[in-house]
Amino acid sequence: MQARDALLDLRIQPGVLPAAKALGAYPFTDDFTLGCGDTELGDTVDLSSVGTATGVIDSGPPSGGALLRGWAAMDGKRADCVLVVDATGVVVGGGITGVGRPDATSAAGGESRAGWLAAAAPGVTEPAVLVTAGPKLYRVHVAG
């Protein structure tokens, strides 16, 4: 994705990317996956078919591939995976779930690890964050 700002936010120097790619270090391998079932980078999601999660994007929308942060829960269960899509539903990023968010535990139905982190490809405008709980997709909204 070349999400330079997301790497810097995670304190990873972008200069290591060429070496990591040349060495075939994960995620620069053929077995890389977003971990969201069959949905991968470049796939299209029908945004009219997704539900709404309890949760928020509290880092604000990304500009230039920034790291997004937030939390989400569906019926007191944390998200299984997180995707970032553009305004047309094309998957342009992803991330990790199960991040500790003690500040959201009460709102997340008692789930203390409802947090997630995701990165979007640079230049994405009007991104949306989708999370899964089982096979169903849910949209997370921007706080405020």
Q: What is the pLDDT of residues 38-89, one digit of tens each?
A: 898 899 999 999 999 999 998 755 444 577 889 999 988 999 999 999 999 9
Give the pLDDT of residue 119: 85
Query: 82, 66, 86: which is closest to 3 by C-alpha?
Result: 66
What predicted TM-score, i.e. pTM, was given to this entire model?
0.79
More confident residue, 37 or 11: 37
DSSP assignment of 44-78: B--GGG-EEEEEEE-S-S-SSSPEEEEEEEETTEE
Give pLDDT, residue 62. 46
- In CATH terms, 4-142 corresponds, of 2.20.25, 2.60.40, 3.50.80, 3.40.50, to 2.60.40
Which residues, at least 6 apart from 73, have a Cβ–Cβ distance to it below 8 Å?
Answer: 53, 54, 55, 79, 104, 107, 108, 109, 111, 114
**pLDDT band, residue 120 (cuts 50/70/90):** confident
Q: Which residue has the higher pLDDT, 115 or 13?
A: 115
Q: In this model, does residue 105 exceed pLDDT 60?
A: yes
**Residue 26 pLDDT level (bands cut at 50, 70, 90):** very low
Give me the pLDDT at residue 4, please.
56
